[in-house]
Amino acid sequence: MTHTSRRPLTSGKAQVVDYTLALRKKPRIGERAIQAFLFLCGAVSILITVGIAFELGKESWLFFRDPQVNLLEFLTSTTWQPAIGNFGVLPLITATLMTTFFAMLIALPLGLGAAIYLSEYASPRARAVLKPVLEILAGIPTVVYGYFALTFMTPLLRGIFGSETVQIYNTLSAGLVMGIMILPMVSSMSEDALSAVPRSLREAAYGLGATRLETALKIITPAALSGIIAAFIVAVSRAVGETMIVAVAAGSGPNFTFNPFQSAETMTGYIARISGGDAAYDTPDYNSIFAIGLLLFLITLGLNILSRWLVARYREVYE
């Protein structure tokens, strides 16, 4: 903007004007102040992350410093009973893994299937109807899904498998409903990846005599694989961090079990129950939610970074 010419505009020697001086950048304090303020706004996001890491770290430190607790026992013991000093996080982790597993059982294949249908098969009119429906599904608050799990999915499962085998609160019901909740996210992220594959690839495949299915599964899906895997990883991270469905439908009370029909408490469910109750500040019981929160934060952060890295590393770039 401030490129200036030293050559005078007129050739007459008497009229030489030094435009360099006139167009020199003026110091603008107001502009500077605004820019600094806007930078601070951007930096708030950093402060949030630092705040999360610092607070979780500090309070977890208090928890692990407690003589009743040691890190090895925390990570390996299979009983979690703060009242008698047993702090083994494994029951909470297995419950989280179970609900996540069932959620992924629904969300990944069906989400990808829906994405392939929407991107490769559906007519523009069908897409115009189906996509908003999926968006509505994605916008429903999770507590409503919790209600759905408890009043619809659980009775359904009890009807199928018998009410003696299926407890009222169970991880299967919570996991399946969580899968329904995450499905639209998987399908929309995967569909973005699929439709980013250039048309020329499809046309080349058709030209070589491939059927529609062969084109979709052998050409388009591999080309979009990095985006699809990223969607899958984000889906796992969503499932691990999901709280309300498990708080309503999976049951309360840690339980070391792999039986999907029994109640068990996930990490998020535990945090919700303890902090919703009246545990006094600075008891090991209360501090434990910070340790579990830290674990949860690290797991989801790791998964999110992994997904981003995969996209950046394995993206197929078409000019």
Partner 1 sequence: MSTEPIQNAAWSDPRLSITRRHRVGRWWQGFFFASTLFAILALAALLFSVADKTMGLVVIENKVAPSALSSRPLEGLSKEELISILEANLSRNRYRTINREETVDRRSRDEIYDLVIGEVVRPKVLMSYPLSQSLLRRAELEAEKAERWPEASLEFYTWLKPHFITSPMSASPELAGIRTALLGSLALIAISILFAFPIGIGAAIYLEEYADRKSWLNRIVQLNIDNLAGVPSIVYGILGLAIFVRALGNLTSGAAIGYAGDNGRTILSAGLTIGLLVLPLLIINAREAIRTVPNSLRQASYGLGATQWQTIWYHVLPAALPGILTGTILAVSRAIGETAPLIVVGAATYITSDPTGPFSKFTALPIQIYNWTTQPQEAYRNIAAAAIIVLLIALLSLNSIAILLRNRFSQRA
Site for partner 1 in 231-290 (CB under 8 A): 234, 237-238, 240-244, 247-248, 268, 271-272, 275-276, 281, 289-290
- Per CB under 8 A, the list member of 62, 90, 137, 229 interacting with partner 1 is 137
- Per CB under 8 A, the list member of 93, 98, 150, 230 interacting with partner 1 is 150
Q: Per CB under 8 A, which region of 4-12, 84-92, 109-117, 159-167 contacts partner 1?
A: 109-117
Q: Report 182-241 residues binding partner 1 (CB under 8 A).
A: 183-184, 187, 201, 205, 208-214, 216-218, 223, 234, 237-238, 240-241
Assess contact for 188 and 138: CB atoms under 8 A: yes
Question: Looking up tokens 């018998």, which residue turns up?
Answer: 162
Number of residues in contact with partner 1, rule: CB under 8 A? 98
Minimum distance from CB of 318 to partner 1 (Å)?
Answer: 9
- Per CB under 8 A, the list member of 5, 13, 22, 42 interacting with partner 1 is 42
What are the structure tokens assigned to 187, written together?
A: 């399908």
The amino acid that residue 69 corresponds to is V
Residue 233 CA to residue 118 CA, distance in Å, equals: 21
Q: Report 69-98 residues binding partner 1 (CB under 8 A).
A: none
Assess contact for 249 and 176: CB atoms under 8 A: no
Residue 305 CA to residue 237 CA, distance in Å, equals: 11
- Per CB under 8 A, the list member of 16, 17, 38, 71 interacting with partner 1 is 38
- DSSP structural state of residue 19: H
Minimum distance from CB of 227 to partner 1 (Å)?
Answer: 15
Please list the residues that pair with 17 across neighbouring strands: none
What are the structure tokens assigned to 6, written together?
A: 């030293």
Instruction: Give 91 or 184: the residue with its C-beta nearer to partner 1.
Output: 184
With a CB cutoff of 8 Å and minimum separation 6, the contacts of 304 are 233, 234, 237
Q: Report 154-183 residues binding partner 1 (CB under 8 A).
A: 180, 183
Residue 226 CA to residue 233 CA, distance in Å, equals: 11
